[in-house]
Structure 1
Amino acid sequence: MLEVALRHRFGRAGFALEAAFTAPSQGVTALFGPSGCGKSTILAAVAGLLRPQEGRIALDGAALLDTARGIFTPPERRRCGVVFQDARLFPHLSVAANLRYGLRRAPRDATGPGIEEVVALLGLGPLLGRQVPRLSGGEKQRVALGRALLSRPRLLLMDEPLAALDAARRQEVLPFLARLRDAAGLPILYVTHALEEVDALADALVLLEAGRVLAAGPVEALTARTDLPLARRRDAGVLLACQVAETGADGLSRLAFPGGALLTTLPPGPPGTRLRLRLRARDIAVALAEPRDISTRNVLPATIAAIQPAPAPQEVFLQLAIGPSLVLACVTRDSVARLGLRPGLALWALVKAVTFEHRVAAADPPDAPAAGA
């Protein structure tokens, strides 16, 4: 587990950071928030590139920083693999030589993947003989990921690694990041202001604003909260963990989740593939009686768990329980009054099969089927 508790101020009236959170020993913990909220400052402190005025950073119980005890482990001894926005590769070396440099930085007694394994994981085989200036932005970032992993770190730090890429290159790199997450078995601290990257990669989320931690915890739980800034976004909604149950000849796929299933036009992969969908609150309608003879394919029995304020004064969020799963629907206050909506009321949730915009990077297919399959 990674433990972080920091206090730091830049100048007498400058930016102040006061943040504390923990991150699990494996998987991606995303530091998320607007520009200037302190994400990269936290990452620099964890890497040892910033010496905070007060704080403690510990990895698996071993202190990397403890100002109260006078402990400050130098950056080169922290065994952090760092990937920045710009790949920072050696331009005069080939891809293979850049990877070998990472391996040379690994401690002699450290265990970890070899070059062949990393090359296969990140699809670098066709690039090994090429010089860095001949690589695309996405290819450079994949090489940077490989070099960081070959240094056999105890912790991977990524500072907006996709921010400098266009949309096509980001989509190219995201699946490789997901593979790395699943194969590395390391804690990964991932800085981003892109919600799509959080949806695709994050297991845990640390939500930051103005140098403070607003909330921290499992990403699915935080997306279902309406008291956080995430609920003020137009794409506000929950992340739903799904598994592909079947793909039909009609072009629709059935995605099972605990409590039910959804039909989608997305091509999500073969049966057994795990993924997460963002169900946007504005894409969900409700009905008191089961609708018939309509084009909407997803009509799910639900119960209103709570009615909570929405950012717009004329709207509210309905927290809907579909079995053990919770989703959000955004409706008008007029609809609440007209339909007599109240907590505990059973109704039907309607979701069009064409509304799913975010197909996220998936893990390898599991052995067991998902609940609801």
Structure 2
Amino acid sequence: YVYVSYWRESLCIRFLLERKSMYSSHWTERQNIYVYVFHSTESSCVGFSLGRKKYILCMFWSTMTLTTIGERAPPVTDLEYIFTGITFLVGVFVFAAVVGNVGDVISNMNAARRDFQARMDQIKFYMNHRQVPQQLQTRIKRWAEYAWDRTKAMDEPSALQFLPDRLRTEVAIHVHLDVLKKVSIFGECEEGLLRELVLKLKTQIFSPGDYICRIGEIGREMYIINHGQVEILFPDFETGSRIQVVVMQPGNFFGEISLLKLDDGQNRRTADVRSIGFSELLCLSRRDLIVALTEYPEAKRILEDYARQRFNHTRKLSPPETEDCRPVSAPVSCVSSHKKRSARKVFTKVMRQGGFSKLLKNAAR
């Protein structure tokens, strides 16, 4: 804007000097002759009215002077010398400032991508140096590209850290509150609690086939699906494989049972959860939830009642525990009694018939 303003002012001043010139051989008159000779043919020439011709030539002179490029006709009068010198000096500084600002804008547009690429180069160098398997390297690269597409490698907590608490809360509400309201377990909670929880949510991205949690692990977080799908898996005690009992969609949640310690204080995961494709989950830690619930005892009771219902339904379908079984990840070979093997067969049959799938779908509504 400054550059354009000064360009117009220099144009007008130059035009004024031409109109006030007392010499018949001033610059525009000489330029008019040059243009006439250049464009003349045997039968015609390019003609201009004197006022318009002077204005166009002054605009051309101002552009060439401010950009410091091209040949300019030499001044004739003392006033033209002074004005040309001042315009040339100002043009050098203004043009340099404009070029520098344009360079900064272009550089800042790609700053985030350059930082991301620099981190990826470090990761690739490390993986090659440590001879990480190629399959794992490919998974890491695919995860990084997906994370870039979803978040542009932006650290949301750091980006909002300098904002005051009230503004940071409003931003978080705008981003996550609608997702949190879709979660059935929070449907009857006070909005004040939801406003506190949105500040505690952390985004996590998982690749296809990643296990988000496994049976028996200590649960310290609950998850809300923001994008993508995950599947709930239970072990098949006959084959040692895992059975998909339900596919969870955006807005569904899991992990609240171990988060609220409803499993007799064991705080253990009750199922395997695996990502189908890329998925983006909102993670809420147990510590953050407990701190928020201290001010909302009624909401705590609602959450515990809701989670206890889901936990009791899960226990009815879960197989009896045995001490002589190997871990789920290993082939199952139990030396238990005939009654225990029969119970496992019944449990496996129920899961294959979709009973547990219907249960989880109803609870997720």
Q: TM-score range by the shorter chain?
A: under 0.3
Q: Greater strand share, 1 or 2?
A: 1
Q: Choose between structure 1 and 2 for higher RCO, CA contacts under 8 A separated by at least 6 residues.
A: 1
Q: Name which one, 1 or 2, has greater alpha-carbon Rg.
A: 2
**What TM-score does the superposition give when structure 2 sets the normalisation length?**
0.22
Bigger helix share: 2
